[in-house]
Amino acid sequence: MMSSSATSSSSPFPSSSTFSSTKFKFKFPSLSQRSSLLTVESRAKPSTACYSTIHDTSGQNRHCSLSRRRGLAFTATLPFLFPLHEFVGNGGAKAIESGQSEYLRIKEEISKVVTKGKAAGVLRLVFHDAGTFEMAENSGGMNGSIVYELERPENAGLKKSLKVLEKAKKEVDAIQLVSWADMIAVGGAEAVSVCGGPKIPVALGRLDSAEPDREGKLPQESLDASGLKQSFQRKGFSAQELVALSGAHTLGGKGFGSPVAFDNSYFKILLEKPWKSSAGMSSMIGLPSDHAIVEDDECLRWITKYADNQNIFFEDFKNAYIKLVNSGARWKSM
């Protein structure tokens, strides 16, 4: 949900900017999404499939252990693991290594600038960039357009977070250009990880938009539970995914436990409904959207489940995050 304040609290979706960013001019190859793309966290060591008998120096014949079927299956999978590269002949292994090196380079530079104190703002960038996606129109989404939208009231405070990532982006760009969409997607995943949350693999290859997304596409924090579910449904997300992504509010200054710890405190505190107490600042905890989902029976089931089991929350958040950062993305052609 969208927060209109200038605080650094993370937010699930909750005019051009004067920010000094280069405008990107790309031709989008396709309107289709690749929602199932993943990278891997460790360096890939692909096996080689052999289709014929090989003779060694002793004159003895030896056969590869992989069958033709397994070799073909692996080769067919390669483009989905690393969408930036072509896989022709024996170049597949080199492409994997190159793609993984780029991914690790981005992660390394981001880890130098995204501290626990800056994590909430960086994660909020993801929701405000990707949260403009609309399935019916196939518009908006994870496309880096946030760089042109920083002056909008709903994006107050995000200019500082973008500047944090800009430092890392300059270092990566010096070696190989990376899109803002990829940088923000990986940045949000690293923000979660540095605060103790799940490790989230992120595919690379998104193209940046050359213009801002249309206004009014982020879910409003004033919506009731029914309105929130409808808004998320238009973006392709279920009530369960709405609740899981709302767990991002555990970071930042909204009063859900430690502002720099990514855990399931958000759900535990939602169940307590402290905003109904007359005791001082407790009424300031959370956004109206947070208060709304705990009153909805469908959402409440998931809130209770995540409050009881942090591991389930981590797994569901990871999957919803991957879906979010692929929503509406336009990809480089292979």
Query: Could you give the C-alpha distances from 11 to 79, 138, 251, 334, in angstroms and in order?
Result: 32, 22, 9, 33
The whole-angstrom separation of Cα 231 and Cα 234 is 5
Q: Which one-letter amino acid corresponds to residue 171?
A: E
Beta bridge partners of 139: 134
What is the three-class DSSP state of 139? Answer: strand
The whole-angstrom separation of Cα 203 and Cα 34 is 10
User: Among residues 85, 128, 249, 291, which one is catalytic?
Assistant: 128
Q: If you search the block for the tokens 């960039």, which residue do you land on? A: 129
The whole-angstrom separation of Cα 12 and Cα 218 is 9
Report the Cα 108 to chain-centroid distance in Å: 17
The whole-angstrom separation of Cα 266 and Cα 306 is 9
- Among the residues of 214-334, which ranges form H helices? 225-234, 239-246, 265-272, 288-293, 297-308, 310-326
What is the three-class DSSP state of 3? Answer: coil
**55 is an active site residue:** no
C-beta atoms surrounding 40 within 10 Å: 13
Structure tokens of 52? 């014929």
Structure tokens of 255? 């009063």
Q: Which one-letter amino acid corresponds to residue 225?
A: A
Max Cα distance, the chain (Å): 87
The whole-angstrom separation of Cα 144 and Cα 168 is 15
Active site residues: 128
